[in-house]
Amino acid sequence: MPHPFERWTVLPHGKLARLGDNLMTVVGEIRMPLMKLPRRMTVVRLADSNLVIWSAIALDESAMAELESFGRPAYLIVPSDKHRLDAKIWKARYPALTVVAPSGARAAVAKIVPVDMVDPHFDDPKVRFATVRGTGDREAALLVQSANGTTLVVNDIVGNIDDASGLGGWLLGVAGFAGRKPQVPRVVRKAVVEDPQALRAQLLEWAGIETLQRILVSHGSPIEADARGTLRDLARSLE
């Protein structure tokens, strides 16, 4: 993984896509040895028009202007210690950002950018931060309620790269981030999941959200076909 950037560095990325009245997302790309790794940033607009930036990606200036027209960047969530690449440069661009990280990742994230809080409350009942159970408090998640339903935003606990190819695709498949269906990646199970049954309970709790419409993952395609059923399948894989 590249070292965290010291200056605004724009890597290949797509266009910002609106998923709801208060939700946008964009997919970028990290070029690594033997592969191109897709990565996702999610942007949530709060009731006061402040923005929550999840897993920040530096965008080109036209895309940044579009993002700023959506609201004012106010919170920067670094969802794990593996997603620090653009954190410092976002904080430098927007010094007033409140930096958030899950408690178990706070020390590692703080080596790159100071962390202000680990349990934010956004004064908006439609947006809720969570630390994922069973991960040693090292993975974060967001629940976002929009007019068209609820979106669950997760980080590395679910991989859903469904278009990988070549040697890089094979390596992503071995790691468990790529495959024919969403999965809890093997490398994440080994390195992050400390209590599989606690994570299983977390997934089942989310599966019980009747309004759940989609799951956004940091690496891979959105899960929009039977999101609740997918969470149940993921939970069964941890039995």
pLDDT tens digits, 56-85: 999 999 999 999 999 999 999 999 999 999
Q: Which residue has the higher pLDDT, 200 or 180?
A: 200
Nearest by Cα to 85 from 177, 26, 5: 5
Q: Where are the domains of the chain?
A: 17-236
Reduced to 3 states (helix: H, G, I; strand: E, B; else coil), residue 122 is coil
Tell me which fold the domain 17-236 belongs to: Metallo-beta-lactamase; Chain A (3.60.15)
* Euclidean distance between CA atoms 5 and 10, whole angstroms: 10
Asked whether the predicted pLDDT for residue 36 surpasses 70, the reply is yes
- Residue 1: per-residue pLDDT: 63
Q: How confident is the model at residue 166 (pLDDT cuts 50, 70, 90)?
A: confident
Q: How confident is the model at residue 172 (pLDDT cuts 50, 70, 90)?
A: confident
Q: How confident is the model at residue 135 (pLDDT cuts 50, 70, 90)?
A: very high
User: What percentage of the chain has pLDDT greater than the value 70?
Assistant: 99
| 34 φψ region: left (φ > 0), alpha (ψ -120 to 50), beta (else) | left
Reduced to 3 states (helix: H, G, I; strand: E, B; else coil), residue 171 is helix
Asked whether the predicted pLDDT for residue 38 surpasses 80, the reply is yes
pLDDT in tens, 16-25: 999 999 999 9
pTM metric for this prediction: 0.95
User: What percentage of the chain has pLDDT greater than the value 90?
Assistant: 87
Phi, psi at 89, each rounded to 5°: -75, -30
Burial of 23 (0-12, 13-18, 19+ CB in 10 A): buried
